[in-house]
């Protein structure tokens, strides 16, 4: 055993061990360096991610409006209030520039599919019926009403892009094949059905009371009276109703599409903000890996210095053994 563990063998084992340590140290250092570069690059990429996301333009297809023409129109309520002069000027500009073109869509349909007894709705009456009158606009800009209907009034009065889209999409919807079929059916329809409703009516029943002294003791009673009128069959849509429904449907589709795209943009912003939130942890991890790399390299440097010193000592010892012995007496 003593002969086996000679100095040469021990040196060889030590050399192999140190070689393994050197290779392992270099491998670990390389992995640390690559990992540090990766996390540093990832942090720089996250830093470059912009959190600004533009909302896609709102789009409304005229075909969608035409398909929804059967929907019932919504009612609009108006209230009296003091209207600022600036609001009056803005609405007047809307009435003078845009409304005649929008009203022309209804008038074109009315002229093509009207009945003899139909009366053309005036521009002012149609504007008020649709909720775009001065009172409705003033109420929408006051901030009291935040509904889509109020926003639609503001958009149509103030927003030139919205006006252009409404003019194009509603006009296309009124000229669509399905709408033309509805209006053609209206023009040929007759009031072939009857609609009866029961309404309460107050009646006075006269009677005289008394024997020696006669006086009026009439009584009042409420009775239900059935009233009937001739109506068109269900599904018949007049030009005014078609235009009203096209306008309301455009509003519904526009704000639904805008809400969806706004939600998509907000979701994308949240994703990007989450991405940027990992910049700090990844940079910290990269610095830790760089520290580990430097530690491994320091360990590797210690091994290299120790090997160099051992080699120098071995060579010095070999030279000393090679020198002849010096006898001081000679």
Which pLDDT score is estimated for 77? 44
Report the candidate in 173, 179, 325 with the shortest Cα–Cα distance to residue 250: 173
* Residue 196, φ and ψ in degrees, nearest 5: -115, 140
pLDDT tens-digit series, residues 249-276:
999 999 888 888 888 888 888 888 787 7
Which pLDDT score is estimated for 106? 93
CA atoms within 13 A on the CB side of 302: 8
Q: Residue 245's Cα: distance from chain center in Å?
A: 25
pLDDT tens-digit series, residues 45-101:
766 667 666 666 766 666 666 666 554 444 444 444 578 889 999 999 999 999 999
Whether the model clears a pTM of 0.75, i.e. scores above it, the answer is no
Selected residue with higher pLDDT from 66 and 242: 242
**Residue 280: partners with Cβ closer than 8 Å, 6 or more residues away:** none
Q: With the CA atoms of 302, 305, 306 and 307 taken in that order, what torsion angle do they form, in degrees rounded to the nearest 10?
A: 120
Alpha carbon distance 269, 302 (integer Å): 50
What share of residues in the chain are helix, strand, coil (percent, to 5)?
65, 10, 25
Which pLDDT score is estimated for 66? 67
DSSP per residue, 184-243: HHHHH----EEEEEEEEEEEEE--EE-SSS-EE--EEEEEEEEEEEEEPPTT---HHHHH
Which pLDDT score is estimated for 146? 66
Give yes or no for residue 241 having a pLDDT over 80.
Answer: yes
Question: Quick one: pLDDT band at residue 325, thresholds 50, 70, 90?
Answer: low
């Amino acid at each position: 055993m003593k002969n086996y563990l000679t100095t040469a063998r021990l040196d060889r084992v030590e050399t192999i061990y140190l070689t393994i340590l050197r290779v392992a140290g270099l491998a670990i250092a390389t992995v640390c360096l690559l990992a540090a570069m990766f996390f540093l690059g990832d942090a720089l990429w996250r830093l470059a991610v912009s959190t600004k996301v533009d909302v896609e333009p709102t789009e409304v297809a005229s075909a969608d409006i035409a398909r929804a023409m059967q929907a019932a129109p919504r009612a609009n309520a108006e209230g009296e209030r003091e209207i600022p002069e600036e609001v009056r000027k803005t609405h007047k500009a809307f009435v003078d520039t845009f409304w005649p073109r929008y009203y022309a869509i209804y008038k074109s349909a009315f002229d093509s599919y009207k009945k003899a007894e139909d009366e053309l709705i005036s521009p002012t009456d149609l504007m008020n019926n649709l909720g775009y009158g001065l009172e409705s606009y003033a109420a929408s800009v006051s901030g009291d009403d935040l509904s889509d209907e109020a926003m639609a009034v503001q958009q149509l009065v103030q927003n030139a892009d919205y006006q252009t889209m409404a003019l194009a999409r509603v006009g296309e919807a009124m000229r669509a094949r399905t709408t033309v079929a509805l209006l053609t059916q209206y023009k040929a329809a007759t009031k072939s059905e009857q609609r009866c409703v029961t309404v309460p009516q107050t009646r006075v029943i006269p009677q005289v009371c008394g024997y020696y002294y006669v006086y009026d003791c009439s009584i009042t009673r409420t009775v239900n009276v059935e009233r009937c009128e001739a109506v068109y069959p269900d599904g018949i849509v007049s030009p005014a109703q078609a235009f009203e429904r096209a306008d309301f449907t455009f509003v519904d589709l526009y704000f639904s599409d805008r809400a969806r795209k706004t939600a998509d943009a907000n979701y994308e912003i949240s994703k990007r903000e989450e991405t940027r939130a990992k910049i700090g942890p990844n940079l910290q991890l990269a610095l830790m890996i760089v520290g580990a790399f430097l530690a491994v390299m320091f360990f590797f440097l210690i091994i290299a210095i120790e090997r160099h010193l051992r080699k120098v000592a071995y060579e010095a010892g070999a030279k000393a053994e090679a020198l002849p012995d010096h006898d001081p007496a000679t």
